[in-house]
Structure 1
Amino acid sequence: MKYNKLGKSGLKVSEISFGSWLTFGNQLDTQLVKDTMKEAFKNGVNFFDNAEAYANGLSESLMGQALKEYRREDLIISTKIFWGGNGPNDKGLSRKHILEGTWNSLKRLQLNYVDLIFCHRPDPDTPIEETVYAMNYVINEGLAFYWGTSEWSADQIEQAFEIAEKRNLIAPTMEQPQYNMFVRDKVEKEFLDLFEKYHLGTTTWSPLASGLLTGKYNDGIPENSRLNKFKDVQEYLKSNGLFSDENIDRLKKLDKIAKNIDATMAQLAIAWILKNPNVSTVITGASSVNQVKENIKSIEIKEKLTDDLMNEIKNILK
């Protein structure tokens, strides 16, 4: 396992990390959460990602039970704040919700602090300045060590940096964008100036495009598949054109490359992301111990991706 600096900070995160979205509380019970986390940790994973919104808080509670078995200093734990409930102040990035959401997340995780805290989405109803001040307070109070954003635009992140510099506040360290073979614009185009100017770290999510890049949906969505259980995710993939005939054709070509280097399509997709120097860590998910093992093998596949192979993949993806 390789450990990368998170942006310009001194924090080192495993190049593959483990996230709880869609699995903890939806597919995995307490014991399976412990088993999958233990397998990830055994293979060098030190970063475990969560959010107050995942399974309506149950994801954090399950992870909190598992964390008791580890030395706190060996782990990097994150949460994300935005969707905390149904009340008028239970959502968004106001100072009130950021603080109350953070306190509630810490209670569920049974921790005194998280290492990373993210603004889970931009909030059009709250001035960015208010959010930056609130995150600065969270860091200064020791509730988190670093703060960042998730799915913010480059302009919004730039504003946060400018406010922090002008007000002598703590600036964001990282962004958590979706990034995979089919969703590339933010990491490969929009954020390039931020990488150059601020050395922004990235904790990318959905490396397999919610399972599409495993190739198991090339002939349609099986009735008993995980994707069939999450209709909102399925609808998102379809509405954004990710299930297009063109992408399925690309997947079939990519699968041939994977087979030629003794990899699964999923391992190729993760390894391809690992080759990007602007990616600090790739957040993977798993519903079984075996799936954790398979994802970790992507590190070996990364070493097989020569410049010629990367160019071949580039031509397929266009």
Structure 2
Amino acid sequence: MEHRHLGHSGLMISEVTYGNWLTHGELVDGDRATACVRAALDAGITTFDTADVYAQGAAEELLGTALAGERRSALVIASKVCLPTGSGPNDRGLSRKHIVESCEASLRRLRTDYLDLYQAHRFDETTPLEETLIAFDDLVRQGKVLYLGVSEWTAPQIDAALTLVKDLGLRSRIVSNQPQYNMLWRVIEPEIVPLCLREGIGQLAFQPLAQGVLSGKYRPGQEPPAGSRATAGGRAPTFIGRVLGTPLLERVQDLVPLAADHGMSAAQLAIAWVLAQPGVSSVVAGATRPEQVTENAAAAGRPLDEAARKKVDEVLGDLVDRDPAKTAQMMAVKPAWRTA
């Protein structure tokens, strides 16, 4: 497993991060969750991503249990705050109250005294940005958080936060952005990537496999394989249903020979492609089985040459979405590859 700096910070993170969105507490529990985490550790993964809202706290609890007993300084644990964690009016957003209370709850569930990285899960239009940034800065000053980041913020929102951090003289700055990013969904490239490269913010790219579609296991004209996310319980089928479609599945199959030519599976090709993009510090990949973790981790340290990247563009063609207006709207918009 190779490691990279998170943006221009001194923090080193594994090229593949183990994430537990839609898995721990929804598709994977108990011993199976622990087995996946153990596989990640065995593969050299040191970075683990979760959020307070994942399975309404259960994902953090399972991750905390699975990591119990590990040397804390050898791990990088990241969590997020903003999305609703309850029915109360203050159980959401980026107010000082919710940030502080959510951080304390995450620390308890994860069984740790501090978070290496704490990210604003979305932008909060209802809370003054100054209030949000000062609350985050206070957590850093208290030693409960080491680094700060955002997730699915637009370029203007990130830029406004960077400016305000300087104007307020805050100690901590934004070092990470966690966007959806893969061969198909490239909406961060026109505006966000250039800004982040200039400001030293690293990308923690999630959904590198587009909910598993880029793994090649979903074939056109065939039912989804048993045990896949498309046939699982929880919310996973809803998310993956947004990207399934015959035109896309046909073109993904055209990528399989390209992956084989480079000694990789289609899933590894998808991860290696993201890692080859400018500004990417790590790829956040989830799994429901230990063998998936091992396969994903093996994509680290696998350079992808320019010819291979051009071939990917040729195969996917007009199915690639690069519209920057869709940043932070991925839950609401219809991607270019989704058929009616």
Range class of TM-score, shorter chain? over 0.9
Instruction: Choose 193-202 or 149-158, whichever is displaced more.
Output: 193-202
How many residues align? The count is 313
* TM-fit CA distance, 1:232: 4.8
In structure 2, how many angstroms separate the alpha carbons of the residues matched to 1:90 and 1:100? 9
In structure 1, distance between residues paired with 2:114 and 2:207: 26
Q: Which residue of 2 aligns with 1:307?
A: 306
Please give the per-residue CA displacement for 1:60-109, whole angstroms capped at 9, x wherever unaligned: 11111122220000000011111321111001111110000001111111
Q: Secondary structure at the match of 1:173?
A: strand
Once the two structures are superposed, what CA deviation does each residue of 1:102-130 show, in whole Å capped at 9, x if it has no partner?
Answer: 01111111111110001111112112221
2:146 corresponding residue in structure 1: 145
Give the deviation of 1:143 after TM superposition. Answer: 1.1
- CA distance in structure 1 between the partners assigned to 2:28 and 2:227 by the alignment: 16
Distance 1:262 1:193 in 2: 32
**Counterpart in the other structure of 1:215:** 216
What is the aligned partner in structure 1 of residue 87 from structure 2? 86
CA contact (8 A) 1:178 1:204 kept: yes
1:178 to 171, 177, 180: 180
Q: Which protein is richer in helix relative to its size?
A: 1
Q: How far apart in 2 are the matches of 1:217 and 1:227?
A: 9
Distance, in Å, in 1 between the alignment partners of 2:29 and 2:237 is: 23
Distance 1:262 1:192, change over 3 A: closer
Superposed displacement of residue 314, structure 1: 2.1
**2:327 paired residue number:** none
- CA gap of 1:226–1:93, structure 2 versus 1, over 3 A, is same
Which residue in the other structure is 2:161 paired with? Answer: 160
The structure 2 residue matched to 1:228, chosen from 226, 231, 239, is: 231
Paired with 2:226 and 2:35, the residues of 1 have a C-alpha distance of: 27
Counterpart for residue 191 of structure 1: 192
Sort the Cα spacing of 1:88 and 1:12 in 2 relative to 1 into closer, same or farther, 3 A. Answer: same
1:59 — aligned with what? 59
Q: TM-score, normalised by structure 1?
A: 0.93
1:192-271 to 2 correspondence within 5 Å?
Answer: 192-219=193-220, 220-222=223-225, 224-229=227-232, 232-239=235-242, 242-271=243-272
2:6 matches 1:6: yes
Is residue 293 from structure 1 mapped to residue 323 from structure 2 by the alignment? no
User: 1:6-30 deviations in whole A, cap 9, x for unaligned?
Assistant: 1111000011110111111222222
Whether the 8 Å contact between 1:95 and 1:130 is mirrored in structure 2 is yes
Q: What CA distance in whole angstroms lies between the structure 1 residues aligned with 2:227 and 2:298?
A: 26
Shift of 1:263: 2.2
Task: Look up the equivalent residue of 1:307 and give its one-letter code.
Answer: E
Aligned to 1:298, the other structure's residue is in SS state coil
How many angstroms does 1:234 deviate by? 4.1
* C-alpha distance in 2 between matches for 1:56 and 1:97: 15
My pick for the range that moved more, 23-32 or 68-77, is 23-32
Q: CA deviation at 1:236?
A: 4.4
The structure showing larger relative contact order (alpha-carbon pairs under 8 Å, at least 6 residues apart) is 2
Distance 1:158 1:51, change over 3 A: same
Mapped partners of 1:232, 1:291: distance in 2:
20
Contact 2:229/2:236 (CA < 8 Å) preserved in 1? no
Once the two structures are aligned, what percentage of the paired residues are identical? 37
CA-CA distance at 1:231 after TM superposition: 7.1
Instruction: Please give the per-residue CA displacement for 1:201-226, whole angstroms capped at 9, x wherever unaligned.
Output: 11111111111111222335356532
Alignment of 1:32-43 (within 5 A): 32-43=32-43
Q: Is the 8 A contact 1:150 1:175 kept in 2?
A: yes
Two-structure CA RMSD over aligned residues (Å): 1.8
Query: How far off its partner does 1:150 sit?
Result: 0.5
Q: 3-state DSSP class of the match of 2:159?
A: helix
Q: Which runs of 5+ in 1 are unaligned?
A: none
CA distance in 2, matches of 1:196, 1:283: 19
Residue 208 of structure 2 aligns to a residue whose secondary structure is coil
- After superposition, the C-alpha distances for 1:167-211 in whole angstroms (9 at most, x for unaligned) are 01122111100011111121x222133133211111111111111
Change (3 A) 1:105 1:18: same
Q: What is the TM-score with the length of structure 2 in the denominator?
A: 0.87
Judged with a 3 Å threshold, the aligned counterparts in structure 2 of structure 1 residues 224 and 65 are, in CA distance, closer, same or farther, namely closer
- Cα contact 2:136–2:148 (8 A) shared by 1: yes
Amino acid in the other structure paired with 2:18 = F
More divergent stretch after superposition (194-203 vs 12-21): 194-203
- For 1:42 and 1:223, the matched residues in 2 are separated by 27
Give ranges in structure 2 of 5+ residues lacking alignment.
318-340
In the other structure, the counterpart of 1:25 is 25
